[in-house]
Every structure is written in structure tokens, then in C-alpha cells.
Structure 1
Amino acid sequence: MQAILERPFERAGIVVPGLPVLPPGVERHPVPGGGSRAVPIFKGDEITIQDREGLQPVELVFYAHDGRSDAAMIGAKGGRDPKGLKAALLSDPSGRKVVRALEKSGFDLGRADAAMVFEGGSRAGDMASFTASVDGLLIVCAAGGPMEPEEQWAPTEVVLYVRRAALPNGKDMLVAPDPLADPLLDANIQPGQAVPYEVKAGQYIQILDVKGRECSDFQAFSLRALDRGLEREIDPTTTRSLMGSLYPMPGLNAKYFTVDHEPLVEIVQDTVGRHDTFGLACTARYYEDMGYPGHINCSDNINRELAVFGIRPRGGWPAINYFFNTLLDDTHAIGMDDPWSRPGDYVLLRALTDLVCVSTACPCDIDPANGWNPTDIQVRLYDKTEDFKRSIGWRKTPGADLEETKKTGFHDCFARHTRNFVEYNGYWLPDEMTNHGATAEYWAAREKAVIMDLSPLRKYEVTGPDAEALMQLCVTRDMKKLPVGGIVYTAMCYDHGGMIDDGTVFRLGETNFRWIGGNDQSGLWLRKQAEERGLNAWVRSSTDHHCNVAVQGPLSRDILKQVIWTPPAQATVEELGWFRLTIGRLHGFDGPSVVVSRTGYSGELGYEVFCHPKDAEQVFDAIWAVGAPMGMIPLGLKALNMLRIESGLIFAGSEFDDQTDPMEAGIGFAVPLKSKTDDFIGRAALEARKANPQKKLVGLDLPGGIVPTPGDCVHFGKPQIGIVTSAVKSPILGKVIALARVDVTHSAPGTELEVGRLDGDQKRLKAVVVPFPHFDPTKERVKGNY
């Protein structure tokens, strides 16, 4: 069975994990945890269900075309009531498609004969296979309901693989996915073609890369201007200048403009996030200069198709080159590589006025622009009455399924205070509050209290007899010393000592842990180690079942003690010690369940409150009702960054990455090599690195008033000896401060350094090495000692 699973594309020494491939005739259909999926099945098809994370029961329902439901028709044992499926159809968004499939076919769910798979427990990767004896409709449900914060079971994704008994004769298996809604236009563009189309204000344009790695040039003209004899199209230079980025992305800065500063379209969804607006659609001259005279090109195709609208021809068309991957090197030369788009990736735009548009499928086959293999593009138009949410594509790994940008359970609560949301690790998070701003939010955290959304932190439930052994193996802290109800901050490293992530471990029981980190790689690493080492432990994602707000600041305890009720066996908010957790409820015995931890990321006294998304609004409102009269305000990412830099708290991609060890990242205290005697992944490398340190994280004071940019070079005279990792103008200290990773030979406090700007030599910012944290180095405020 393992042979049918997808694998990365590989040819002649080149591996492309972003393009997983399946054997001919095999389809892959992911089923979300707690959700369902309906797929047509034909006689002889082989059906395989894979449990991705383990312990996930699956319900199967099969209908023949005559309406009969009998699990035996796929070789399964039926006789069960599909309770999980019925619940999923009502509560999970994926259920709406299943309901439509049932209604369309006239099937009665009340007479469904369900079979259970993995009912007795399963390991990550376990599979079960069946074969259909008749044509029909298969419904797969990854059954499960909401997870309570103190529990450790959440419904997780399963995957349905279907090996078709009959392969389509001569038909390409890789076709465009279903439309997002009923399309007004559904046009396929073959390589070397351009298609013009008119769009009314408010309508949506979807440009879809069918097979992946294919460039599509897009241009739009104001129809109102064309009627006046003016050509006013999207201008890349104007758009970049007004939006402040190479190309707009979903969010506040989403519009494309003409040279007259008129917005023509805005981007609503983007599943790729990397495109090109440096230059032109491909031109005849480009191919001629490469030695291919007469090569078909997009600019000539655009000229031909736009002529009917009276638009003058051009030698090269400036265009929004979707999916085209160009880059600038340090000498400002433009280079290119394969596009980042996978099969089915798309951009979705909304017309802001009546438009004439043109889209192409680029014919370039002489360079990596289309992955050396030009393929087709699909263009679809949707009515303005459709409701498409803003989204940027997110994948846990290069070959993982696409996930839309999600709203956290607290999103609508923070949306009362701001429209300024930014994408953060697959979720929308507030960047700054409309009527406050980052500086006011910062001071509220230092002087009163703030509430912030930290729901995108990745949560993984680690359970089973070997849970402690797995955690002891994978993190740097000693899990044997972590008591039930305790929390510890730790690092997780690869074998060479480079960091995967930093995070906290919650111990909920003797064999029950919760890992909370910044990225999914840490959770996937835990699961990989459990599987490869044969440990009797399960690692299951619970991120979408645990949303959390942080209440931080001097008044945080006084606020939460009025909101959180705890049973006698649990610590009250007032009693809760630093890095401890308590399990409670909102207001009283019958209130929504919460987990409260005395943790945070602000350098102030603070707590985090975890709950299920279904209870998030109620939790937020209860905290707000008490906190707002006391001066509490919401806090966004900009202010959070100011707080954490002052407090010397590290951030992934800034202070550490997989080339940086914990000592170099400034958290050597989280690697107790002497007191933790057990082996753990990366220990040998960390011992060697600690014995021969090369880099050190230090604080910098910069008297010049200019805030460096992360990545700026740090010099001792002529040579570069480090880089700035984070920098800010500290409101409470009244000066510019920074964190920098520098060579240990120049890391002593008082060492005078310079931060290079421009080319690193033409402009220098004087700096002096100082201890960090810059603010409250003894952590008295975190301990509540104001």
C-alpha cells in the first residue's frame, strides 16, 4: 500500500518536494479533522484511507447509484450509525459540499450504513484499503468534535487515496480543480495563447496555474478611460510605489493602480505569494537575442488580442507576471528560476471598476520561466455577489496541502479595534490598533495591561507511555524534572546543533505533554522521531482547537482573578507561580473551560488563556469587561516586537535559525548540559560548539538615533564581524537598541562597533556592546515585583 503514496518529483539529481507526484490513476483527497468529503467511486476502484497523525477514527458511508447504502459494496463491515458524519455536516465547512453531493444524488443520510476504520486506535501513517464492487458515492468523515483545553484529543486530518480501475484513455490526469463558485467565464489558455475578456466592477478574476510552474501575464485597462480614448492600464512602478512592495498581497496593501493613481483591481487571495513585476511580458527581442528568431511571445499575443479594443501595440508589455520567479542579486542583476506555483495554485482579484483584461499562458521553453515545460492557464470570472475571504496560501512543508489564511477564534474580537491585519504563519493577526497605535499599546503593556492574540502558536499533544522519553530526546531541558502542572521554556535542535524552534512544554500528566512552539516543523520533528525510533507515543496537532490570548502587564493578575474560576484542587490566578499552569473555567463551575498559564512574551507580569475557538468570543468579552475600565487595550504585532526586543526575547528568523545553536541565539540557559545527563538530539554537537564558541548574541546601544534594519552588517573597523538580528527605538529607555550576533572576539561589553548601511562602508552607525536584556535584566517585572 505504501507504494501508492505521493513522492517528491525527482529527475537526474534534481528533487522538487513542492511537486509531489502520484502513480498514474491515483487521486489524493485530504479530509480535514472533524470534517468530511464525498468522492465518486467506480467499480473496481481501490480505496485507501491513511491516518496522518494517529488515533483518528474514520467513518465510511457508500451509496450505490440506486440509493442503497451498504458498506459491503466496498468490502467493509457496516451496521453503524454515522453519528460523526451527521455532526460534521452541521458544524464543519467541508460538510456543505457533502450535503450538496447528497442532495444532488438524492441520497438519504438517515438510511446510511456506516463502517468504522481505526476505531481501536491507530499509529501515524496507518492505512486501510477497500475495493468497490459497484459504482457509487463514497463519503469519508474524520469524526470528532471540539477539544476541551485540558484534554488531549483533537480530530485530525486523514487522506483518501483512490486508485482508479480504469485510466482515462489519453486524458491528462492533471486538470484544473473545481471552480470556487459558479463561474461566469471558464476559459482555458494553452501555452502560446492570450485571451482578452471584459470584467464588470465588483466581479472576481481567478487566474489558475493548472499543472504548476507556469507564468501567466496579466494586464487590465480601465474601460471608462478607453471610452475616452485613453489607455490607462496597471502600471507596475506606480503600484509598487503606492503599496510599498514589489507586488500587492491580500490585506490592506492589495490594490493595483494606473499612472493616474486610479485603483483598477485588488488581490483577494494568493496561494503562491511570489510573482514578478520587475519587467515585461516575454518579447520577440528577448528570443531574438537568445538566438530564437520568430519564437512566439506573450507581448505579440497581447498586441493581437487587444487590437479589437483599439489599444495600440507595444514592443513589450509591462504586465503583472503571475507565478514568474525573478530575483535581484547583490549587483542588481535580474535572474530567474522555476516558478513557485504548484498544480492548482491561483490568484483571485476583484475588479474595482469596469475593465478590459488580458491573460496569457507563457510559451517560454528556453529557460526556467515555466520550469522548461510550458503548460496551460485557466481564467475564471465570478459574480460580485460571491463572498471570498482574504487569504494567502500556507503550507506546513513544501509538499503539504494548501491551507488558506485562517482567522483565529479571537479574530472578530480584535476586528472591533482594527482593520490592520497581517498574515502570520497562516493566520491573520492584528498589526496595530486603529485608535491607539503601537506606541500607546506598548505603554499600556508597561504601565497597565494589554490583551493580544497568540493563537497561531503551534500546539502539539504528545501522549502515550513513551511521551516523556520522546520529549527528553527532542528538547534540551530535562523533562524528568518537569512536574505535572509545570511549564518549561526550551530549545529543540537538529543533530548538528542548529535550532528547529524554541517553545514551552506543558506537562498535563505523567504521560501527557503539550508542546507550544512557533512553527510546525517542531511538531513534525517530534512525530518523525516517534515513528522512526518506534516509541509508543503519539504527536497530534491541536493548533486549531487551542486559541489563546495573552493578558500582560502590571494589572494582568488583578484582571484575570476576577474572571477565572478554578476548582479547589487547582491553583487560583493569584496563587499561580511563574511557569505554572492551572485548569479553570470562566466565572464559575458551569463556564467554558480554559487553561491559564503564567507565561508571556512581553517582559511583564502576564498570563495566557487557552480555550476552544467556540468559546473565544465569550472569553475575550469577559476579560475585556473587567480589563477595559482598568485601562487595558488590545496589542498588535508592532508593539509586541518593541516589548520583546527590550526584554531580550528571541524570535525565529531573527535571533535563530537552523544554522544557529541556542548559545549563539542567547538562550544557553536552556541547554543544561551538566544537570541533564540523558542524551538528546544535538547534544554532542552542542557540547562541541559550547567548547569552541564562534558567535554570541549581544546587546547594542546606538547613539545616532537611526534604527538599523535586521540583517545590517556589524563591523569592527573594516571587517564584518556580525549582523543585526533585531532593532528598535526603545520608548522606555529613550534610545535606539539592537540585538546582534557577533564574533566572540568582539563581544565583550563596552566594545565599540559600527553598523554598516548602504554598502556597509559608506554609512556607519556607531554602536557599543552592552548586556542584554536592555530592560529589566533581573526579570523582576515578570515575577510581579514592580
Structure 2
Amino acid sequence: MTATAPSPVAPRLLLPGLLPPEPGLETYWVRPGGVTALRLDPGDELTVIDRAGRQIAEVTALAPSGTTGAALGITADAPATTLRSLASNGAGGEILKVLADAGVNPERTVAARLFGEWSPAGARETFTATEPADVFVAAPTRVMTVTDTEANPPSDLLLELRRANPRRRFEPRLPEPLAEPILDMRVDAATARGYEVKAGQYIQIIDVEGRQCSDFLAFGARQLDAGVERGLDATTTRYFMGNAYPQPGLFGKFYDQDMQPLVEVVRDTVGRHDTFGLACNPKYYEDLGYPGHVNCTENFNGQLDPYGIAPRKGWPALNLFYNTAFDDSNLLVFDEPWSRPGDYVLMRAQTDLVCASSACPDDIDPSNAWVPTDIHVRVYDAKRKFSMAISHRVTPESEAKLTKETAFGERTSKLTRQFTEYRGYWLPTSFDGHGPQAEYWACRERAAVMDLSPLRKFEVLGNDAEALLQACVTRNIRKLSHGQVVYSAMCNETGGMIDDCTVFRLGDTNFRFVGGDEYDGIWLRKQAERLGLDQVWVKDSTDQLHNIAVQGPASRDILRELIWTPPTQPAFTDLTWFRFAIGRIGDHNGIPLVVSRTGYSGELGYELWVHPKDAPALWDIVWEAGQPHGMLPLGLDALDMLRIESGLVFAGYDFCDQTDPYEAGIGFTVPLKTKEDDFVGRDALLERKAHPQRKPVGLELAGNEPAAHGDCVHVGRSQVGVITSATRSPILRKNVALCRIAVQHAEIGTEVEVGKLDGHRKRIPAQVVRFPFYDPEKLRPRA
């Protein structure tokens, strides 16, 4: 008998977030402080997973038998604290209704408690339903105090439900309405629907099953009544907004030919669309050999005819969820949409409108992933208020998160309307009545305060905490003292930078990792698993610690009378460079906070870290104390000037995962000679340091035209470098830039040219100079 090798399994397309990893598997999240309700049938298997560790779960099961928990074989003998709090707070209407229908008093509900204060990351418990049951899984929370050196911030739970009788693979699950809709209609696949919307009302366009294009048209209703057709106009919108398609925020409106706004984008969970390409039309299909194919243009003509709108051969439309781009040859290309099931765009009508929405019928190319599906439209009352937000995912598999305000937003929003989306939060770019230049000079000459709450904070706890950080960051964490902060890089196996960060040592086994990217926590957990470190927890504390920076020569004088520290902590005035103290505002009864001698301005400065509930009060106290010193608020535009002058790097500009710390200009964070322990990327960094290809330099440009991120840098015809960051330096009165350049051209005094247009038709003379441009000896921050 001859043995034959098994046939190799063909690689499978990876479509994160679109296909379940296995048939019959459903996944759900339980947010900290929240409750997720599921209906189980006999044989269904529920797994509760404590992803980050140290998060208690409360499980309550209600079944016809009436015994709480029996349907899952669990003993419910603890108070269901989160369910009870829903009743006392008047929240969770749907959940409370289920309890009421079952004759259960929510204020007396009990639960089985899973996991605990020291459950490992990834801990899981699995239960099988023996009868039909409504199951409630809660993630109880407690406030994390900033003075707690053994902090355990709350984290989410993951639920995996394996159905004994799997539902249809792509059973559409519409997201819950954002409010009570006044119009709730389905646009069936390959059709279109016309509808009217009043000024101020909200229009939600939902992709039911994902990857489905929906063309949107809107016309001013009052103009139509007067016999004048005024609809969304591509040229006018792009002229005013400066974007291919507007996004939520300051530049989020669509205009008509008369320069009047018709709709404003309020929320966008996709972030990838096409603006005013033609909706699919008969000619498109005819030219591809499909005469008579149903198309959006003719569907629109039929829907718009009752409103007196003349038919067209092709409608310019806002193509929601349609994935187009221009390639390097300026060719218009398209691919499958990015949208996931339930993704939506929410717009607000700026005037009375006649609208039309389609569910595109295109099944001959990737525009709908070759399978047209439904679109759903909801319209909400003008009296409702919805937060402005963009959606982001930390990994392709993650649940989408909408942009949030920081805890200081209540104060900063009273000082400006100039906000931009920054890593999942809204931050001011500049402040009304001041502007970037005034804010810049306030920081250089007096003092400025700014909101830096979007920084990602992670509590790294446990006996293996030091070992994990020692293996993941380039600095020698074993040398870090209690109360000390260190700036470091965190690299991947190739030496490329995942992020830069600061690490605070709160105790022998307690550290606080502060970076710029939410992925940092995922990376740290993966490394802990890879290294077999089972006595370490990485808990996200970003929403437990919001922070402001007080920077400038007067910052110490402003804060010295505000910050009290106990005898066990350093006095505020004794804090040296990269040290921190745990204290309070005013005296021992004041707001608890952490104060660190750190910053991102190149000036003397501090950062103040508090629980979000205390943020408005902290802002008020600091603001009042700063007024005699001429303090101003500081936005991102001014911060960019400050940090570039000081040679401080910024993720996505001066480094990425293809850039090592030496190329980013922070090679000082890699002590290869004195750090004997291995760390991720060490071997690659040894090789890169021995054979450098590129080097960071400062450039000083001739004339008054600034460089920009991504501009090419030339010596003769050849490109030798690229601009990573650039600004007009107010204090130097020159245009300066950070540049990554070939080592052969990195010597100070080298003459280069910054390419504009295509890099050949226009060049700005520049010279390699010493950097940081401002205070190159870095004496001022230590003054």
C-alpha cells in the first residue's frame, strides 16, 4: 500500500470583520459598566472571556423554570450590581423590560460572579444552555483613583456564542435606532427610494450587510417649488471643503451650485466614499456588454419624477460606501467597499430637501463586492442631538469606536469651534481670539495649557510587569526608579518603531505606559503571551486618566501654589526632569492628581493627570492661576510649531513601523551597550546601527515658502531624502524642516533642494543644519 500526502489546503482570503471565524459563531462585547443581553436556546454554548484580565463578570440567566442561573448550570449567589444600578439610574430600558416581563425585580437580581481581581488575561468560562433563557452578562466597574499605585482600570469582556442551530450565515442585524425614527424604510437591493426631509432633521444611511454602495441625491425643496433645480454640486463642495468628500467636523458640508449648504456630515463609521462620480447608468453597462442592466440612474429618474425633477442620462451623486481612489498614474480606480454590516453615515439637513437613496445594482465588478444587497434609511427629528464622530478600529477585527470629547472638552469648546479628530478624540487646533502664533509665543515667553488626553495610557501590573516592559521597549526599565519617568521607543522584530512612549514607575510591580496608539496595549499583551509571562496585566486606563500640559517659563510659578504633595512624595518644586509625584490640588482634601515634569514643547513644563470627573475643575483652577502670568490655551497648530523647532518626533510623520529609532532621531533611547537584556528588535537594531542608510537632519530653507510633510529632497536629479515635518519658525523667522536623508548627504552644511510640484519643476534651496533648531543644547527645559 502506497501512502499519499494529504492535499494542501488552499490559503483563504482574510476578510477581517466581515466573515465569522467559524460557522455558527456570534461575538458580542460587554463594555465596562455595561450589560449585554442574549437569548439562548437549548444546546447553545456561551463563553465569557476576560480579555485583559482582572475584570469581574456578572452572569444572570432567566429561564421559564424560574430558577436564576439554573439554565446555564451556574449558582447565582451574588448581587447583580450592574443590573441593579440600571434600575436605580433609570437606564437600560429594553433590559429592564425583559426583567419586568419575567416578573423579576431588577433591584433584587442576583448573578454568578466570574473571574476576579487577579484573573489572568484571556481567562474564559463556558456554559451550555439546558433550556431557553435570557442571559445578562455585565462588567461591573469602580472608579480608578489616580493616587492608587495598584490601579485596576475596568476593561471589556468578550462573549462568544456558538448556536446549536446556527442562523443564516449573513442574517442582517440592523443597528439599534439612534433615536425614535420619523422615517424608517428599506431600500431593496437594485432599487432606489425618494423621500422628503425637513431642515434640521437627520438622515442615517445604513449599509445592512456590508460592502454595498448607496448613491445619495439631495435637492433644495423650496427651489424645486419655485421651478429651480438645485442639487449637490461637486465643484462647489470641493472648493469650499478642500476634500474629495467632507468628513465630520469643521469641514463637513455639501453645497449646491448657489453655494448654499444642503447637508452636513455628522457621523461616519466608514471613512471611505466617492464624491460625485456618476451613479451607475445605462451606458456603463452597455459599454461592458450588459445592455438593459438595471441601474441607479434610471431608478433615480423614476423616483424623482413626482417631484418635477427632469430625468438625466447619468446622475452625479454622493456615492456612500463606494471605494474609489486615484493611483500613482492619476487613473481613477475602484475596489470593494470598506463598509461592514451596520456601518452608516449620519447627515443633517441644512434646509428642506427632496432626497433619493439607492441600493446600487452593480453585480459585474467589485463596487458592491459582486453581490448587491439592501440599504436602510432612517430619518430622525430635528430636536434630537447627536455627537459628531468618526469611527476608528484599533485592529481590523475590532469593534468600531466613535470619536469622543475629552473630559476637558466641556471647557475648551467654550473657547473655540476649531476642532479636529485626533486618534479617537476631538482636540482644538487653535483658539478663537488668539490663533496659533499668539498661542506659540505664550508658551515660549509665558505659559500655555493644552489638552493631551488622547494619549493612550496602560497600567502594566504584576510580578512580570518589569520583565515585559524590559522585553518590549528599548530603554533599560530595570534601572527605572520609583517616581521616575523614561522616554523610550517600542520596536517590532525588524527594528521599526511601533510607537514612542513614556514609562512611569509607580512601584516594584506597577508601571504606567503612555503612548500615542491604542494598538500599544494589544502589542504588549501579545508579547506577554509569546514570552509566557502569566503574571502581568496590561489594562487600558485612557478613560480613567485625562491630562493637560502646562508648559512655558512661568509654568512652575503658576503651579507651585496649587499642588500639594504628602511627605512621602517629592515636593512639587523639587521635581526634576522626567520625575513625577502623586499629590492633590490645594491641600490633602483637594483633587487627587499625578504631576510629572514632562512635556512636548521644548520648554519648562509639567503634565497633570486626573480622573475625568475632576477634569473641568482642574482646568478652572489652572486657568485662573495662569491669568496673572498671561497664560493662553494651546492648540495643535501651535504645538506643531513648538515640537518641530525642538526636534520632537511625531508618529506617522517622523517615524512609522518602517523607521528605526536612529532614523527617527531618537537613537538615544536605544542603549545597546548598557542594556544587556534582550528586547524585541535588538538584533535588527544592532545591524541597522552598524550599517545606517538614512539619517535625520534639520533643514533650513531659503525664502518664505514652507516645506510640507512628504516633500522630496534632492541633490541634482536624484532624490536623497524626504521631509517628515516642517514649519515656519516664529522665533527663528525661518522655514525649517525635519528631514530623513541618505547618510552620504547628512553632513552639516550640505546644500540640497526641496522639491515642490513634481520635484523637478520647482525647487527650494535648503541647507543641512544642526537640530533641534531651538535650544539645541536642551538647557531651557531643565532650567
Sort the TM-score into its range (normalised by shorter chain).
Answer: over 0.9
- Determine whether 1:214 maps to 2:195: no
Corresponding residue of 2:36: 37
One of 99, 119, 122 as aligned partner of 2:119: 122
State the AA in 1 paired with 2:274. Answer: D
Deviates more, 1:153-162 or 1:22-31: 22-31
**Runs of 4+ with deviation above 4 angstroms:** 10-13, 87-91, 93-97, 99-106
- Given the superposition, is the C-alpha separation of residues 113 and 73 from structure 1 closer, same or farther in structure 2, using an over 3 Å criterion? farther
- Determine whether 1:410 maps to 2:390: no
Determine the C-alpha separation between the residues in 2 that align with 1:451 and 1:283. Answer: 55
SS at match of 1:129: strand
Matches within 5 A, 1:142-181: 142-151=139-148, 152-168=151-167, 172-181=170-179
Kept in 2, the 8 Å contact 1:25–1:173? The answer is: no
Deviates more, 1:707-716 or 1:30-39: 30-39
State the AA in 2 paired with 1:164. Answer: R
Deviations 1:352-402 (A, max 9, x none): 111111011111122221122222111111111222111100111111001
Once the two structures are TM-superposed, the CA of residue 571 in structure 1 deviates from its matched residue by 1.0
Deviations 1:762-784 (A, max 9, x none): 00011000011000011111112
Kept in 2, the 8 Å contact 1:35–1:89? The answer is: no
Matches within 5 A, 1:49-198: 49-64=48-63, 68=66, 70-87=68-85, 95=92, 98-99=95-96, 102=99, 107-119=104-116, 121-151=118-148, 152-168=151-167, 172-198=170-196
One of 515, 519, 528 as aligned partner of 2:513: 515
State the AA in 2 paired with 1:53. Answer: A
Deviations 1:55-108 (A, max 9, x none): 111111223368x461223211111112344346667x9856644654676631
Determine the C-alpha separation between the residues in 2 that align with 1:303 and 1:628. Answer: 62
SS at match of 2:543: helix
Deviations 1:384-434 (A, max 9, x none): 122211110011111100111011111111112111111001111111101
Kept in 2, the 8 Å contact 1:269–1:390? The answer is: yes
Matches within 5 A, 1:198-209: 198-209=196-207
Determine the C-alpha separation between the residues in 2 that align with 1:643 and 1:103. Answer: 58
Kept in 1, the 8 Å contact 2:88–2:107? The answer is: no
Deviations 1:731-760 (A, max 9, x none): 011110000111010010100000111111
Deviates more, 1:757-766 or 1:19-28: 19-28
Kept in 2, the 8 Å contact 1:561–1:572? The answer is: no
Kept in 1, the 8 Å contact 2:79–2:110? The answer is: yes
Determine the C-alpha separation between the residues in 2 that align with 1:94 and 1:731. Answer: 52
One of 273, 276, 291 as aligned partner of 2:274: 276
- Determine whether 1:468 maps to 2:466: yes
- Given the superposition, is the C-alpha separation of residues 687 and 393 from structure 1 closer, same or farther in structure 2, using an over 3 Å criterion? same
Kept in 2, the 8 Å contact 1:239–1:257? The answer is: yes
Determine the C-alpha separation between the residues in 1 that align with 2:326 and 2:303. Answer: 32
Corresponding residue of 1:632: 631
Once the two structures are TM-superposed, the CA of residue 47 in structure 1 deviates from its matched residue by 1.9
Deviates more, 1:564-573 or 1:55-64: 55-64
Corresponding residue of 1:750: 749
Corresponding residue of 2:5: none
Kept in 1, the 8 Å contact 2:281–2:296? The answer is: yes
Determine the C-alpha separation between the residues in 1 that align with 2:155 and 2:277. Answer: 44
SS at match of 1:14: coil
- Given the superposition, is the C-alpha separation of residues 391 and 408 from structure 1 closer, same or farther in structure 2, using an over 3 Å criterion? same
Matches within 5 A, 1:584-733: 584-733=583-732
Kept in 1, the 8 Å contact 2:84–2:109? The answer is: no
Corresponding residue of 2:761: 762
Once the two structures are TM-superposed, the CA of residue 19 in structure 1 deviates from its matched residue by 2.5
Once the two structures are TM-superposed, the CA of residue 177 in structure 1 deviates from its matched residue by 2.1
Deviations 1:148-177 (A, max 9, x none): 113321110102223334445x68523322
SS at match of 2:574: coil
Determine the C-alpha separation between the residues in 2 that align with 1:238 and 1:107. Answer: 59
- Given the superposition, is the C-alpha separation of residues 278 and 670 from structure 1 closer, same or farther in structure 2, using an over 3 Å criterion? farther
Deviates more, 1:598-607 or 1:584-593: 584-593
Corresponding residue of 1:428: 426
Once the two structures are TM-superposed, the CA of residue 543 in structure 1 deviates from its matched residue by 0.7
Corresponding residue of 1:384: 382
State the AA in 1 paired with 2:417. Answer: R
Once the two structures are TM-superposed, the CA of residue 633 in structure 1 deviates from its matched residue by 1.2
Determine the C-alpha separation between the residues in 2 that align with 1:221 and 1:435. Answer: 37
Determine the C-alpha separation between the residues in 2 that align with 1:245 and 1:175. Answer: 32
State the AA in 2 paired with 1:408. Answer: T
Kept in 1, the 8 Å contact 2:87–2:106? The answer is: no
Once the two structures are TM-superposed, the CA of residue 501 in structure 1 deviates from its matched residue by 0.3
Determine the C-alpha separation between the residues in 2 that align with 1:591 and 1:64. Answer: 49
Once the two structures are TM-superposed, the CA of residue 21 in structure 1 deviates from its matched residue by 1.4
Matches within 5 A, 1:251-330: 251-277=249-275, 279-330=277-328
- Given the superposition, is the C-alpha separation of residues 675 and 730 from structure 1 closer, same or farther in structure 2, using an over 3 Å criterion? same
State the AA in 2 paired with 1:508. Answer: L
- Given the superposition, is the C-alpha separation of residues 172 and 667 from structure 1 closer, same or farther in structure 2, using an over 3 Å criterion? closer
State the AA in 2 paired with 1:510. Answer: D
- Determine whether 1:539 maps to 2:544: no
Determine the C-alpha separation between the residues in 2 that align with 1:486 and 1:329. Answer: 48
Determine the C-alpha separation between the residues in 1 that align with 2:670 and 2:97. Answer: 54
Corresponding residue of 1:7: none
Once the two structures are TM-superposed, the CA of residue 38 in structure 1 deviates from its matched residue by 2.5
State the AA in 1 paired with 2:540. Answer: S
State the AA in 2 paired with 1:763. Answer: K
Deviations 1:103-129 (A, max 9, x none): 676631122121101136322222111
- Given the superposition, is the C-alpha separation of residues 100 and 637 from structure 1 closer, same or farther in structure 2, using an over 3 Å criterion? farther
Matches within 5 A, 1:326-345: 326-345=324-343
Once the two structures are TM-superposed, the CA of residue 665 in structure 1 deviates from its matched residue by 0.3
State the AA in 2 paired with 1:532. Answer: R
Corresponding residue of 1:446: 444
Determine the C-alpha separation between the residues in 1 that align with 2:587 and 2:31. Answer: 33
Corresponding residue of 1:579: 578
Determine the C-alpha separation between the residues in 2 that align with 1:283 and 1:730. Answer: 52
**What's the TM-score, normalizing by structure 1?**
0.95
SS at match of 2:79: coil
Kept in 2, the 8 Å contact 1:88–1:141? The answer is: no
**What's the TM-score, normalizing by structure 2?**
0.96
Determine the C-alpha separation between the residues in 1 that align with 2:318 and 2:461. Answer: 49
Determine the C-alpha separation between the residues in 1 that align with 2:193 and 2:425. Answer: 35
Runs of at least 5 residues in structure 1 that lack an aligned partner in the other structure: 1-9
Determine the C-alpha separation between the residues in 2 that align with 1:564 and 1:89. Answer: 40
Determine the C-alpha separation between the residues in 1 that align with 2:131 and 2:525. Answer: 38
Determine the C-alpha separation between the residues in 2 that align with 1:629 and 1:83. Answer: 48
Corresponding residue of 1:503: 501
Corresponding residue of 2:241: 243
- Given the superposition, is the C-alpha separation of residues 361 and 112 from structure 1 closer, same or farther in structure 2, using an over 3 Å criterion? same
State the AA in 1 paired with 2:705. Answer: I
Corresponding residue of 2:3: none
SS at match of 1:529: helix
Kept in 1, the 8 Å contact 2:487–2:500? The answer is: yes
State the AA in 1 paired with 2:774. Answer: F
Kept in 2, the 8 Å contact 1:275–1:323? The answer is: yes
SS at match of 1:623: helix
Q: Percent of counterpart pairs with the same letter?
A: 53
State the AA in 2 paired with 1:64. Answer: A
Determine the C-alpha separation between the residues in 2 that align with 1:230 and 1:300. Answer: 21
SS at match of 1:412: helix
SS at match of 2:362: coil
State the AA in 2 paired with 1:356. Answer: V
Once the two structures are TM-superposed, the CA of residue 560 in structure 1 deviates from its matched residue by 1.2
Kept in 1, the 8 Å contact 2:83–2:107? The answer is: no
Deviations 1:506-550 (A, max 9, x none): 011111111100102222111101112210211111111110100
Matches within 5 A, 1:468-487: 468-487=466-485
Kept in 2, the 8 Å contact 1:275–1:326? The answer is: yes
Corresponding residue of 2:392: 394
